[in-house]
Amino acid sequence: MDRPKLGFIGIGVVGNALARAAAKAGFPVVAVSSRRADRRDALARDLQTAVAANTPQAVADRADVVLLTVPDDAIRPVTESIRWREGQAVVHCNGASSLAPLNAAAEQGAAIGVFHPLQSLATDAEAEARIPGSPVGIEASSDDLAETLTGLAEALGATPLVLRGDAAIYHASAVIASNYLVALLDAAAGLWEHLGLTKAEGLEALLPLVRGTVENLGTVGLPDALTGPIARGDVGTIERHLDALTRIAPDVLPLYREMARRTIPIAVEKRTIDEAAAARLRREVQQVEAG
């Protein structure tokens, strides 16, 4: 089966990575556009097969499948600004939205879909390399488009993941696992400033621990990857943590307390503590809250 001609509107980190990866996988990337002319022109020059288009419409006029790799809030207005043709497809890469932002294209006879790499793509240098082996959330208005997007994901070395249910729940899960991990480590590393070190030094010291935890999650899974004082039922240690945070870093106390609450049932599931120990831990956390 012939591979469709792809076009990309929006050349941020995600668009740049997907376009380059798709071209390497043998998909013809025929047109790219971006508000940043330097990124658009550099990508078109490197791909050689792609036209550096001045407008989104020029991309849609050339491509069979258009990927909207624009900011989330721009998906609907960009879609509505383009004249689509029947048999064409337009796909956005926002995991939090389903097909609704693309309705204007569907009304003109285009197939619509979602193609969302479930990966943290922070920089151009890392993004393309991280797509292989990562899941890609896929939703499509037609079986043909679903087959096309599945084939694209597989060609990129990614794992197709058919999305069902509320897309916002899927994306919220991803945000908790990725973005909020950054926030959690910001809080953890910030505590090192009370030890006479910088946040950057704290992060450097903590990263091997984080990597080890992630590796444990990959090898033994949940709940067995859990270690530490709650997994041991060590109420005294939790008490000392809470006392120190109350005195020195009270802004971190609510976060610690909430994470402790959520960790206790994991320890119970792991069977390293019983319900009596879990109750003692819960009381300790609640006492500090009340105090």
Please name which of 188, 238, 239, 187 lies closest in space to residue 209, comparing C-alpha atoms: 188
Output the six-digit token pair for 138: 């896929």
**Can you state the angle between helices 179-190 and 199-219, rounded to 10 degrees?**
130
Q: What percent of the chain has pLDDT over 90?
A: 88
Whose tokens are 């995600």? That residue is: 14
The model's confidence at residue 1, banded by pLDDT at 50, 70 and 90, is low
Q: State how far the Cα of 70 lies from the Cα of 102, in Å rounded to an integer.
A: 13
- In tens, the pLDDT along 266-283 reads 999 999 999 999 999 999
**92 SS3 class:** strand
- Mean of pLDDT values over 223-246: 96
Entry pTM: 0.85
Q: What percent of the chain has pLDDT over 70?
A: 98
- In tens, the pLDDT along 113-166 reads 999 999 988 888 788 888 999 999 999 999 999 999 999 999 999 999 988 878
Q: State how far the Cα of 46 lies from the Cα of 50, in Å rounded to an integer.
A: 9
- Mean of pLDDT values over 21-44: 95
State the number of CA atoms in the 13 A half-sphere of 85 facing the CB: 12
* pLDDT exceeds cutoff 70 at 69: yes
Output the six-digit token pair for 168: 């916002």
Q: What is the CA angle 155-148-2, rounded to 5?
A: 80
pLDDT at residue 163, rounded to an integer: 85
The model's confidence at residue 288, banded by pLDDT at 50, 70 and 90, is very low
pLDDT at residue 118, rounded to an integer: 93
The model's confidence at residue 108, banded by pLDDT at 50, 70 and 90, is very high
Phi/psi of residue 85, nearest 5 degrees: -120, 155
- Mean of pLDDT values over 183-207: 97
Whose tokens are 């890392």? That residue is: 126
